[in-house]
Amino acid sequence: MKASRIGPWIAVTLGALYFLVPLIGTFEFSLRMRRGTYSFDAYRIVLGDPNFQASFLYSVVLALATIVVGTLLVVPTAYWVQLRLPKLRPLVEFVTLLPLVIPAIVIVFGYLRLYNSQSILPLTDSSRGTDLLLTFGYVTLALPYLYRSVDTGLRAIDVRTLTEAAESLGASWSTILFKVIFPNIRSAILSGAFLTFAIVIGEFTFASLLNRPAFGPYLQLVGANRAYEPAALAIIAFVVTWACMGLIQVFGAARGPTQPK
């Protein structure tokens, strides 16, 4: 029953081809803007486009807001469930998984009906209100990943002992949370944060249906109207995603061995 290595090599080679060829194809295409020669013209045009800068900046700010709100929501909840309400864990876990069950387009459809100008909470009436709604929507989308990451981080440390030690030294709840728990699960929070960033930065459905000038709708607009710029944008988006995943590995590795599985 000696395993032959030809099969695995074929699988990995074909897989690598399927994943690399579109990247090479996109990169090659993005260089073709100037007739007869390769150039970075498409990148220069894209990066110099005020709409690119504005929408990218908008999405970066939105991603940071999502990370802050999401972390402040998820960490205390996961900490509290672990420490005081372990019976509630299955319910909380189920709720955090719901955004995977309910498609994003359905959730935003609900927002548009529930928070429109005729409702008691007319968030979509103003730009700021819609930005807030979009942030909350992104927190919802990020919930499954953020919660799982933080929960894994909390399970790897001894929450009870840390809390009791801090309590016996007279620490308040906010001190325990921000000076004891947060630093101890820093790598888990950062992993969740970078993943959230990668999800939010190019998100299309929420931003487009809520009519906000985010990077996702900008991408779609350029795609519908231009030839070479979309390819350059795809490469840029890939690099951003890669950077986020790379940072997760960097920060995850710092505490890697202490995390189960």
Partner 1 sequence: MAAGTIAISKPARRPSGSALAWIGVAPFFLFATLFLILPTAFLIIGAFQDADGHFTLVNLTDLSQPTILAAYKISLEISAASALGGALIGFALAHAAVSGGLPAWIRPTLMTFSGVASNFAGVPLAFAFLATLGRTGLVTWALMQWFGFSLYATGFNLLNFFGLTLTYLYFQIPLMVLILTPALDGLKREWREAASTLGASRGQYWRWVVLPVLWPSLLGSTLLLFANSFGAVATAYALTGSSLNIVTILLYAQIRGDVLHNQNLGYALALGMIIITGVSNVAYIWLRGRAERWSR
- Tell which positions 94-153 bind partner 1, by CB under 8 A: 95, 97-114, 136-137, 139-140
Cβ proximity of 59 and 216 under 8 Å: yes
Q: N- to C-terminal Cα distance for the chain?
A: 29
Radius of gyration of the chain (CA): 22
State how far the alpha carbon of 109 is from the alpha carbons of 18, 70, 114, 115, 160, in Å: 35, 21, 9, 10, 41
CB 240 within 8 A of CB 201: yes
> Quick check: 189 binds partner 1 (CB under 8 A)?
no
Q: Which of 156, 162, 171, 237 binds partner 1 (CB under 8 A)?
A: 237
Q: How far is CA 239 from CA 81, 193, 243, in A?
A: 37, 17, 6
Cβ of residue 186: shortest distance to partner 1, in angstroms?
Answer: 20
Angle of CA points 236, 237, 239, to nearest 5°: 65
Q: Does 196 bind partner 1 (CB under 8 A)?
A: no
Nearer to partner 1, 190 or 231 (CB): 231
Cα 21 to its chain centre, rounded Å, is: 26
- Closest contact distance (angstroms) between CB of 155 and partner 1 is 9
CB of 54 to partner 1, least distance (A): 17
Pick out residues in 33-62 that bind partner 1 (CB under 8 A).
none
What residues from 154 to 183 belong to the interface with partner 1 (CB under 8 A)?
160, 164
Considering only residues 61-90, where is the footprint of partner 1 by CB under 8 A? 73-74, 76-77, 80-81, 84-86, 88
Measured on CA atoms in the order 97, 243, 178, 261, is the torsion positive or negative? positive
Applying CB under 8 A, does 256 fall inside the site for partner 1? no
For the CB of residue 232, give the shortest distance to partner 1 in the complex, in Å.
9
At which residue do the structure tokens 């505490």 appear?
255
Q: Of 40, 223, 247, 255, which one interacts with partner 1 (CB under 8 A)?
A: 223
- The minimum distance between CB 28 and partner 1, in angstroms, equals 5
**DSSP 3-state of 2:** coil
2-21 mask for partner 1 (x: CB under 8 A)? -x-x-xxx-xx--x--xx-x
